[in-house]
Amino acid sequence: MPERRTVALVTLGCARNEVDSEELAGRLAADGWDLVHDAAEADVAVVNTCGFVEAAKKDSVDALLEAGDLKGQGRTQAVVAVGCMAERYGKELSDALPEADGVLGFDDYADISGRLQTILSGGVHAPHTPRDRRKLLPITPAERQDSQVALPGHGDALASAPADLPEGLAPASGPRAPLRRRLDTGPVASVKLASGCDRRCSFCAIPSFRGSFVSRRPSDVLGETRWLAEQGVKEIMLVSENNTSYGKDLGDIRLLETLLPELAAVDGIERVRVSYLQPAELRPGLIDVLAGTEKVAPYFDLSFQHAAPAVLRAMRRFGDTERFWELLETIRSKAPEAGVRSNFIVGFPGESEADFAELERFLTGARLDAIGVFGYSDEDGTEAAGYPGKLDPDAVAERLAHLTPLAEELTAQRAEERVGGRLSVLVERVDAEEGVIGRAEHQAPETDGQVLLTGSGCAGLVPGRMVEAKAVAAEGVDLVAEPGPAEEEAP
């Protein structure tokens, strides 16, 4: 009997990439590959790269080089690059990085098993030629659903799943339902709501290599959520490049408002979280559902990016400090303890000292739970890369160095405001050294801090358990809380 083929998936970047890796894992498992966690124990190491910003691209290259070092030392025979950086650069990445035995684009995902087998057998699969994937789909959103363009995380419209799937593999529940194999056993999983983006932010290259916006059908999202619940998942996080656009290509821009209660009602699911919301598209009805639906986290991941009007217009975005504050006030009037996070770019071309001061003014009054701050750098193929008024890199670094500690101080102050309040905490891990670690409703996985549970109420807690707790201290953005029932109100 021939020895089983083994493959390890190394995932970098965002939660969307994690979903894509689990689709690749599902396709490979269905074709008889054994999945292993350690690249050193795999015949093929597949690195799912990120191609968003320079730092992420460097991390991807480092991961490919690290995997390449394994060749000739043990079992590893080949290293293959997939994901956004591979899709974005194709042959250019292949030529620059001979350590990668293959550079595969999204169009290769449907036959990932065959591609890896060819490479493992010593064959050559030519790296793909990058294309602007926006041009592959119809301009009219309603015409995109029947397209045969490869959409990672959406499945394959032409392929059908094997009749006898291995245990732990998601069954196909529709023509676009992807195969999926979980790569960890934690109680949280992401579910892809859509792919691509129709916005044209001048600093962002993502639409060019991820394509135009395409929603997944509600039945497929529900089917995958039910399967994840059967695998022990308690919290799902809906991800895409822009969740507020969900449904526009299905004829109902308010489709998310009706889908969320259905997802929250799935047996076994304790929390539904929505990420990646555009402030300019955040409808009153969606705010109401996010703020007032049982088991839907009152959590708002808002892509503000800046607060000075001139900078926002140059970014091809909308809003200003007062409008953003008004939006936050509306959210908190409906859900006073709602969690809010956002990312910001400093040093954008043309950003004046007054613009930078305006961003600082906004942040000081916004009371955000989590703040990401990034220094501007040119991205290939973006409109902003050709803008005049570029700031000196030292000036960008200086502004970043000024704003980063302020953001840390402001988010620590916001965490302090939560001390004394009640938290619904999902236990994520129980560690002999760290203790019992979980996350509250206002904390998304990996980005927004965590909760350390202490006290006698921790006895018997296991990952996946949802507990009520009282916040007793703050440590930066992290909270310390004691499990226990809510105190009865005095008569």
> Residue 328 and residue 372: Cα distance in Å, rounded?
17
Tell me: is residue 458 an annotated ligand-binding position. Answer: no
Residue 204 assigned ligand-binding role: yes
Instruction: Let me know: does 13 contact 209? Beta carbons within 8 Å.
Output: no
Q: How far is residue 279's CA from residue 29's CA, in Å, rounded to a whole number?
A: 40
Give the residue-averaged pLDDT of 182-186.
90
Quick check: 178 and 153 in contact, CB under 8 A?
yes
User: Shortest CA distance to 115 belongs to which of 23, 46, 35?
Assistant: 46
What is each CA distance from 172 to 132, 157, 220, in whole angstroms?
A: 29, 11, 9
pLDDT at 334 over 50: yes
**In angstroms, rounded to a whole number, what is the distance separating the alpha carbons of residues 260 and 286?**
10
Based on DSSP, count helices (H) and strands (E) in the chain, helices before strands.
13, 18
- Flag whether the pTM goes above 0.95: no
Q: Does 176 have pLDDT greater than 70?
A: no
Residue in the structure block whose two tokens are 């670094």: 397
pLDDT score of 157 more than 50: no
* Residue 490: pLDDT band with limits 50, 70, 90: very low
Q: What is the mean pLDDT of the chain?
A: 91
Q: Cα–Cα distance between 306 and 321 in angstroms, integer?
A: 9
The structure tokens listed for 423 are: 């938290």
Q: Tell me, what's the pLDDT at 65? A: 86
Q: CA neighbours within 13 Å on the CB side: how many for 283?
A: 12
- Per-residue pLDDT band for 1 (boundaries 50, 70, 90) equals very low
* Interval 316-338 mean pLDDT: 97
Residue 216: its pLDDT value, please? 93
Contacts of 259 (CB under 8 A, 6+ apart): 218, 221, 222, 246
Q: Could you read off the pLDDT of 431-489 as tens digits, one per residue?
A: 988 899 999 999 999 889 999 999 999 999 999 999 999 999 999 999 999 998 765 44
pLDDT band for 175, please (50, 70, 90 cuts). Answer: very low
pLDDT of residue 2: 52
- What pLDDT digit, counting tens, does each position of 373-409 carry? 999 999 988 999 999 999 999 999 999 999 999 999 9
Is it the case that residue 326 has pLDDT exceeding 90?
Answer: yes
